[in-house]
Amino acid sequence: MPTLFIEQHSQGLAFYINGNLQFDTTDEAIYHEHLVVPAISLAEQRFPNLPLRVLICGGGDGLAARDVLRFNQVREITLVDYDPDVLELGRTVFQPYNQGSLTTADQSPLGSDRVTVYTQEAFEFVSNLPDACYHVVICDFTCPTRPEETQVYSLEWLTEIRRILAPQGVLAKNAVSPQQTPAAFWCLYQTALAAGIHTKPMRVVIPSFHHHDYGDWGFLLGSPTAIAPEELTSLKFPNNLQVLQVATWIDVFRFPATMANDRHLINLHTLDCPQLFYYLLNSHFSDREIDATVKPIESEDWLDFLAIQESGTGLIGTHDPLEFESMIQVWLDHFHPSQSGSTSVPAPASLIPVQHPYHDPRISQEWLGYTKALLSEIDAKQLLSKLVDRAQELPPQLAKDLKQLLEKVRSGQPLTYISEHTAELITILSVSLLVANLAAPDAAFAKGFSGSSYRSGYSSGSSSSGDYYYSDGSFGWLGFWMTMIGGMWLWNLYKNRDD
Amino acid sequence: MLSSESIQLDTLTICELGLDDRARWDQFNQSLPTSCFMQSWAWADFKQIEGYQTFRYGIFQQETLVGGGIFYFYPRPHSANLLIAPGIPCFTPGYEVIGMELLLEQVKQLLPTLSAIALRVEPLFLQKPPFLEKFVRAPVDLLPSETLLIDLCPDEAEILANMKPKGRYNIRLSQRYGVETEFTTELQNIPRFYDLFWETVERQQFFGEPYGFFINLCQTLFAANMAEIGLATWNDQLLAAILVIYWGDRATYLYGGRSSLYPHVMANYGLHWAAMQRAKSKGCQVYDFYGYTQNPRHNYAKFSQFKRQFGGKPVTTIGAHDYFFYDQLTDLLINTLRKLAQP
């Protein structure tokens, strides 16, 4: 179960799950009113005089439920949250802030028989619901900190949400920061569009989130039926809101073009080919290989999604970039640029993406400089022997090359050539060692070391010992680099033996 | 002390430790001269909250605990992983050779499910012992292998006398200014600590762990009475904060931060001196500054200059060492080649 922490301060409290701020009572109204009020108001407008049924997924703190209860037309609220500890806080410590939304009428002023709470996984709960059974679904989940927590952001999840919504029903979804993790934000947007939900992205400034460097925060407002701009400009809000104002709230649909223009390049997040966690950890567009032919965006350009009605790109990735084989493939693509069409120098984030929320691209960059040192740990003779013992499982040419290499190593003949296949194998070995070290969060911090820079890693890999090996000239720069490193590694085998 | 030759393998048993073994394991580990807090039960609990799997083994001769280790594994959906064990080996003297053999055999039984290609250990030894012969030096460490230790055994006057004149002077200066210090396990001080920590991370441009890490760490270690936050205030303004871990005879200054305001009151000096006094009062014999360098071009050079003013003895341990599982590494390479060959 996640860890919970309540920070008391002079103006109220701040609540953290796994160390991530969920809300601060000083400004939580900005978050919850934007998440809840437009969605329910739109539903009221679309279903006049009809008793509304609302499903809240997550939201165990009771704050979203509080704002849903503002609407008299809502007759039934179902809240499903898997964490009983958060729900208990919602009924006790948070009661002064949620006005008792999770309690019954006899327990608090806002307590209501309209709310039914289930302690259950939302995906499982929703899967068992009939079609078109809710007018509004509000997703108020925590921002994922582990890959398994991204399921409730997937295409499969949103397809289920679309199924349980009435055709004119409304989805309101807490997203991620379009400012700090733009690729992740637009991934959620594209995923919602792909699920058949016409979606409007929203961008909101929440001071406590900014204080934690989360940046502007994002929400999605959607419906299986397209949302016309005039529907949103004519919404009527309940009285006594703290933040939302009819006259100004639609500014939330305006995004700087620099934040949104690359949204068409982003893959969907699916259970079969997850992308969201990769985007969250490696989100900035600047980390990708930039196409220099694209016209630079003027900084004053803005996009207004109130008017934009677009269908999704439906781009589904071919692989999960955080999978080991995907990382290997990126390296091999740059190893053989003529075959893959990849001619640019890759960003470090694409060679070794960030794998853990505690890490950042600087760590990956630094680790690239350790490649040679990691290889030098390996007993090449022992590894070659193991591989040759299983030669029948290797590609025939590689098996042949390795046998020859092992014979040379054993007999002490000079190494004058590394085949392309061997260099590829050394590349795979290098990436394996890098990934293994970066997979263990504590190992990645490299305590106590002065740290080599990305640049020094490259220069150390190509600075000396060039007489001992050569490539056949068909590799890209990465192939050349790996051949050099691999050659040095094998040469050291001789050197160490002589020592 | 037993000689390693006199211990028969069949007289020892190794088994996974359960919660009932917690006190015995902690007591055993703290009694070792190279004991490390990362081998404590509470630290392993903290790491579990952080997403690690932990494997806690004890080696027994009859009913007596003579060795063991806590191993950490961060599960990933691929086969390129490390098993790490900072602070091991942990053995009663004489049991190292046979104990290490047993531990490695036990760890190898985990490999089919864990997919680790290597085990990384980091003992607090000053020289590499023969029983780690098959381990090779890792390019990076899990702990700062170079550190600065202050001997807390002498009386306070002598500890002060052993400091550099500037250190003594600055401590007294902080006292003259009236810098106040306190040590606490009150969780509401985590944000106070973290604000200063993060301010320092940004100023010094280090990698810093996020807030959630400290919430988990403090919630776990405070409950085990293993750590405290130290705070230094002047005129009601928080100027310095540190996190100290107590384990065995050692107090370790694990994290810290200071405000850039009012440097002339030397709050940081006053706080570390108070931390040393407190550690001594708790029975600690060593104050570990946890990271130090004598290399002026090292990332640690700047704060090592600060630490040096407290005197002490620089100590360099052998650093992290890796034991490679070549069968697993071969599996990984062959399976990867096979997957890449698939259309």
Task: Report yes or no on A414 lying in a domain.
Answer: yes
In the listed set A304, A338, A359, which residue is the last one of a domain according to the structure? A304
Optimal mutation site among A11, A323, A324, A330, interface B, most CBs of chain B within 10 A: A324
Optimal mutation site among A7, A85, A319, interface B, most CBs of chain B within 10 A: A7
B58 CB burial (10 A radius; 0-12, 13-18, 19+): buried
Q: What is the pLDDT of residue A341?
A: 59
Q: 3-class SS at B276?
A: helix
Is B78 within 8 Å of A377 when comparing Cβ atoms?
no
Determine the Cα angle at A24 with ends A22 and A30, to 5°: 90
Q: What is the pLDDT of residue B235?
A: 97
pLDDT digit string, tens, across residues A262-313: 999 999 999 999 999 999 999 864 444 444 444 444 556 999 999 999 999 9
| Mean pLDDT taken over chain A | 85
| Chain B closest-CA separation from residue A495 CA (Å) | 17
Task: Report yes or no on A317 lying in a domain.
Answer: no
Nearest to B140 among A146, A379, A443 (CB): A443
In the listed set A271, A304, A337, which residue is the last one of a domain according to the structure? A304
Q: What is the pLDDT of residue A439?
A: 84
Q: What is the pLDDT of residue A446?
A: 58
Q: What is the pLDDT of residue A382?
A: 94
Q: What is the pLDDT of residue A466?
A: 26
Long-range Cβ pairs for the range A343-347 (8 Å, 24+) = A343/A476, A344/A289, A345/A477, A346/A289, A346/A478, A347/A287, A347/A288, A347/A289
Domain coverage including residue A237: 4-304
Q: What is the average per-residue pLDDT within B239-247?
A: 98
Residue owning tokens 């490679």: B324
Give Cα A69 distance to the centre of its chain: 32
**CATH classification of the domain holding A111:** 3.40.50.150
Question: A458 pLDDT exceeds 50?
Answer: no
Is B330 within 8 Å of A386 when comparing Cβ atoms?
yes
Q: What is the average per-residue pLDDT within A178-204?
A: 97
Q: 3-class SS at A135?
A: strand
When mean pLDDT is compared across A178-192, A384-398, A454-468, B240-254, the lowest value belongs to A454-468
One-letter amino acid at A160 equals: E
Q: What is the pLDDT of residue B29?
A: 97
My answer on whether A8 and A150 are in the same domain is yes
C-alpha B231/C-alpha B228 separation (Å) is 10
My answer on whether A138 and A222 are in the same domain is yes
Task: Report yes or no on A315 lying in a domain.
Answer: no
More confident residue, A406 or A344: A406
My answer on whether A139 and A226 are in the same domain is yes
Task: Report yes or no on A89 lying in a domain.
Answer: yes
Is B333 within 8 Å of A432 when comparing Cβ atoms?
yes
Inter-axis angle of helices A420-439 and B326-341, nearest 10: 120
Q: What is the average per-residue pLDDT within A170-187?
A: 97
pLDDT digit string, tens, across residues A133-149: 999 999 999 999 999 99
Question: B110 pLDDT exceeds 80?
Answer: yes
My answer on whether A260 and A367 are in the same domain is no
The active-site residue out of A27, A61, A67, A140 is: A140
Q: What is the pLDDT of residue A292?
A: 42
| Token reading at A280 | 């969250």
Domains in chain B (CATH in brackets) are 4-143+319-341 (3.40.630.30), 146-316 (3.40.630.30)
My answer on whether A175 and A297 are in the same domain is yes
Number of domains in chain A: 2
When mean pLDDT is compared across A345-349, A385-389, B11-15, the lowest value belongs to A345-349
Task: Report yes or no on A408 lying in a domain.
Answer: yes
My answer on whether A255 and A396 are in the same domain is no
Task: Report yes or no on A314 lying in a domain.
Answer: no
My answer on whether A298 and A330 are in the same domain is no
My answer on whether A340 and A465 are in the same domain is yes
Is B211 within 8 Å of A16 when comparing Cβ atoms?
yes
Q: What is the average per-residue pLDDT within B84-97?
A: 94
Chain A positions in Cβ-Cβ contact with residue B143 (cut-off 8 Å) = 447-448
Q: What is the pLDDT of residue A414?
A: 73
Confidence of residue B77 (pLDDT cuts 50, 70, 90): confident
* CA-wise closest residue to B210 among A361, A438, A357, A8: A357
My answer on whether A300 and A328 are in the same domain is no
Confidence of residue A467 (pLDDT cuts 50, 70, 90): very low
Question: A232 pLDDT exceeds 60?
Answer: yes
Task: Report yes or no on A318 lying in a domain.
Answer: no
* CA-wise closest residue to B160 among A174, B169, B245, B329: B169
Q: What is the average per-residue pLDDT within B294-305?
A: 86
Residue owning tokens 């394996």: A432
What b/e string do you get for A25-62 counting C-beta neighbours within 10 Å, with b at 16 or more?
bbbbbbbbbbbbbbbbbbbbebbeeeebbbbbbbbbbb
Question: B7 pLDDT exceeds 70?
Answer: no
Q: Which parts of A412-449 fold into alpha helices (H)?
A: 420-439, 441-444
Q: Find out whether A114 and A69 touch, Cβ atoms under 8 Å.
A: yes
Nearest to A448 among B141, B297, B339 (CB): B141
| Chain A closest-CA separation from residue B194 CA (Å) | 11
My answer on whether A267 and A411 are in the same domain is no
Q: What is the pLDDT of residue A286?
A: 43
Enter the ipTM: 0.93
| Chain A closest-CA separation from residue B143 CA (Å) | 6
pLDDT digit string, tens, across residues B131-185: 999 999 999 999 999 999 999 999 999 999 999 999 999 999 999 999 999 999 9
Task: Report yes or no on A419 lying in a domain.
Answer: yes
Confidence of residue A107 (pLDDT cuts 50, 70, 90): confident
| Token reading at B264 | 């002339």
When mean pLDDT is compared across A83-87, A359-363, B228-232, the lowest value belongs to A359-363
My answer on whether A214 and A142 are in the same domain is yes
C-alpha A480/C-alpha A426 separation (Å) is 12
Q: What is the pLDDT of residue B302?
A: 85
Optimal mutation site among B189, B194, B207, interface A, most CBs of chain A within 10 A: B207
| Mean pLDDT taken over chain B | 94
Strand partners, A15: A6, A23
Confidence of residue A445 (pLDDT cuts 50, 70, 90): low
C-alpha B319/C-alpha B142 separation (Å) is 8
| Chain A closest-CA separation from residue B303 CA (Å) | 12
Q: What is the average per-residue pLDDT within A17-43?
A: 96
| Token reading at A237 | 């809000």
Confidence of residue A62 (pLDDT cuts 50, 70, 90): very high
In chain A, what percentage of residues exceed pLDDT 90?
63
My answer on whether A141 and A286 are in the same domain is yes
Is A140 noted as a catalytic residue in this protein? yes
